[in-house]
Amino acid sequence: MKVSPFLKEERIILELKAKTKEEAIKEVASLLKDASEIINLDDFLKEVFEREKIGSTGIGKGIAIPHARTDNVKKFVIAIGKSEKGIEFQAVDKRPVKIIFLMGTPKEEGLDEYLKILAHLMRLIDKEAFRSSLFSAKTAKEIIEIFKSAEE
């Protein structure tokens, strides 16, 4: 299951202004305010924050994947935020997060697809060269191209 078909330039922010984890998640979520996949953005965000309370989605290596399975999403959606300085995210490796992948999926439908996308994303992120390319990307289009070429 590829990530690239779900990526859209208008859903990628290259210079997050946020200083905190909560601000960063909200800033990335703002990219989804007009997304047809989202039923209720505020409620989706509440569920993302509820998920964060269970444990940080800062998976290490400068990456965080805040997410929610929710009735406030019609179909899988993803938005990406980048921070040059990094944001304290209570990541497992204690390092600041430089890239946030905010994801949502319907609670009942599409679980299999979602788990496949998440597993695929994790495999990509595990590759040093892939992460380095993302960290140095200067445009949203470049981020999408990095995914496309990694998924070929």
Catalytic residue among 67, 82, 98, 131: 67
Please name every residue paired with 63 in a beta bridge, in sequence order, or none if there are none.
60, 99
Is 120 in the active site? no
For the chain, report the end-to-end CA distance as a whole number of angstroms: 12
d(CA 130, CA 118): 16
Spatial separation of the C-alpha atoms in residues 4 and 111, rounded to whole Å = 18
**What single DSSP character describes residue 20?**
S
Active-site residue set: 67
